[in-house]
Every structure is written in C-alpha cells, then in structure tokens.
Amino acid sequence: MAETADARWANRSSLLAVLLAGGQHSRAGLTQQTGLSAATVSRVVEGLLDEGLVREGAVLQTGRRGRQGVVIEVAAERGVAVGVDLGGTTCRFLATDLLGHSPRYREEPTPRHLAADDLADWLAERVRALYADSAAPDVLRAGVIGLPGAVAADGLGVRGATNLPQIEGELFTRRVRRALDGTVAFGNDADLALEGELRHGAARTADTAVMFTVGAGFGAGVAVDRHVRGGPTGLVGEFGFLPVDSEDHTVEELVGAEGLMRAARDAGLDVDTAADLFVDSSPAARAVIDRFERALGVALIAVTIAYEPELVVLGGRVSASIDAAMTTRLRERVRRRLPACPELVHSELADLAGALGAVSRGLSALRVRFDVAPDAAAAVRADLELSALLSPAGTTR
C-alpha cells in the first residue's frame, strides 16, 4: 500500500522530534527510537538530507563488530530562536540555534521613558540584530517576547502592564511584529518564566506548578499537566490584581519593589532598595514587610484553592529576600485555612528564567515550522547550553 501524505508527515514528525532533542543517532538507532521501519527511516532521512536539514557526520562508534552506522545530525544553523524578557527595569535577550546550542545573551536597561512606537522600534532593532547573526537566506527565525502584562489569546492585546503602561493595547505589539515581518509572538513574562523553570529549572519534575515573579511588580504563571495556561484574555494567574485590605490595595501594590519603595517613603524610611527593607529591624520597616507577607499569603491561598499545585516557584529580584523563616510562616498561614499547602521553592534560573522560557517556546515554534507536530514539538526535551550563560551580568554570555 502506498504511503499517504498524512503518514509521510507523521513519520517525518516522529523522526525529527528525536533528532531535534540532540544527541548522536544512526539510522538503526532512529528505527529503534521511533518504532518506524528501517525502510521508512531511510526514506525520511534521505529526504531530510536533500533538504539540507540534516547531514551525515562521523562513523558512530558502538564497540560492536560489523558495519558501523553513520551519525545523522541536525543542521542546527538552519534555524535561530530568540527569547526576550522585557521587564520594567531590565530587558534580557537570548538567541540560540535550532538545537538550543551556541547561546548568545545580553541585557540592557529598559528605556521605559520611550513611547510605545519608539520602544517597539528599540526592541525590534535588537531582535533583528540577533537574527542577523545567522544571515543565511534559508534560515528560519522565530522569536518570543515576554511582556510584563496579561497577553490575550490573540497574542496582541496587552493589559495590566502597570510597570510599562505604554505597551498596553495593540499598538506596541503590532509595531514590533510588523518591524520583524511577523517572526515574533508575545507572552506574559511570568508565564514564560514558569516555562523556563518547567523545562530547565525548579519545576522540571512537576506536573502542576505556579510561579510568582516578584520584581518591580508581581506576576504569576500557572501550569497544569505541564502546559502553561493563559486564558482568552491572558488573565489566568494574574493574582496580582487581588485586593488585600480594606483600603483596596492589591497584591501587586504590596509585594512589588515599586510598591515596597512607595510604602517605605510614606513611612519616612531611608532605604535604597526594596531588599534593604527585609534587613531593617525598625518598627516602620517591619510593618511594611508584614503587609508584604500578608499579601503574598493571600496570593498563595488563592492559587492553592484554584489549582492545588505541587509547588510554587518564587522568582524575581525581591523573592531573593524571602528567607526560610518567612517561607515557613507563609506555609503556616495557608495551613491554618486549608488542608494542604504546596511546596515553596526558589527559582533555579533566577533572572534568566523568562528569557529561557521565551527561547524554549521559540524553539518549539521552529520545530513546528519544520513539520514536527505541535504536541511533539512542545514535548522535545532538548537541553540548552546553560553553563555558557553564567558570566557577569550586563555582558554577552
């Protein structure tokens, strides 16, 4: 029976998903891993060789007698993924090849004084420069940009961006997409930070997880069955909007760095950063931190009721000041009201979580464009070369 078009596509998808996870593979090895026949594997590989998407490498040393197989490897330079984490104070950029290798990282202060169109042009110029590092005309490009606000399911509408209000609506996102010829998508920064932790960090073994990003503001991402959820308007997980007290302060106003510094000024405290409040033993500072802890407890109770996550990952600059004693108190606060409390863990990826989640999602988009089925593309467990990113902040890594 002749192979149908659907069958050819499914076979290609299955084999490419294995190759794009990295490692050394022979035709015989691909037959074992995919369950396809040797003839089908050979036919798909020959087609991929003709396209230039894979190439034959060295002889694969198996230690066995007889004819040795030849390594089939992905031409990683055929695709470039860019992940961007646009924060209220810092913008982080990460680019990799099709296998997640050869990472290039940089960070710059976010020019938050710019209007929407100028900020869009600033961002597009830097993404374009990362694309240009792979200048071959047949290179596929995919970028994902994390934004500090709720992003609608259409990938364009933004709301709740309190730290960068000029990106709200669609003017900013449409201008960026137009400047980059439609090669970018947008997501919530907390969602992407959680995606980074799911793939490479503290949530790698969790099925249901939540991430709180406590930085200039407050964001939260939710993953159920290892899929990050956003909702039609992007409001799933936006627990920063929850009111906390009789004055209608929200979680974000009480736990984000900008809210903490505002409260410090109102209390007459002379501190340089939000972190200083956590080590200041004065009654005024303790009152500010008590409100912080109470508001974070409200968010923790809400996510426990809504999702019963296995764990909650704490990320963002302010979260580094949450010590073991406060973590214990937060868990006790939840247990006084609910029968169980999720584990609280700190991010393993720190400031890189959002950019890593964004570039991981960009790599999935590239796999789909090379005809890997969407579910298989998202499930590829390719390891990024994280060790190459561990250089001093503010430099190319």
Full-model pTM: 0.87
Check for a shared fold between 7-74 and 204-347. Answer: no
Q: Are 354 and 107 in contact (CB under 8 A)?
A: no
Structure confidence at residue 136 (pLDDT): 63
SS3 (DSSP) at 218: strand
Note the helical H segments in 169-250: 171-179, 189-200
Question: CATH homologous superfamily for 204-347?
Answer: ATPase, nucleotide binding domain (3.30.420.40)
- pLDDT tens, residue by residue, 310-357: 999 999 999 999 999 999 999 999 999 999 899 999 999 999 999 999
Q: Is residue 362 scored above 90 in pLDDT?
A: yes
Level-2 CATH architecture, domain 7-74: Orthogonal Bundle (1.10)
Residue 2: what pLDDT?
54
Rounded CA-CA distance 53/363 in Å is 15
Domain 78-194+351-389 CATH assignment equals 3.40.50.970:
no
**What is the average pLDDT across 81-104?**
93
- Asked whether the beta carbons of 371 and 44 are under 8 A apart, the reply is no
pLDDT given for residue 342 in this prediction: 95
pLDDT per residue as tens digits for the range 47-86: 999 998 999 877 665 555 544 578 898 999 999 999 999 9
Domain boundaries, the chain: 7-74, 78-194+351-389, 204-347
Q: How far apart are CA 239 and CA 250, in angstroms?
A: 9
**pLDDT digits over 205-222, tens only?**
999 999 999 988 898 999
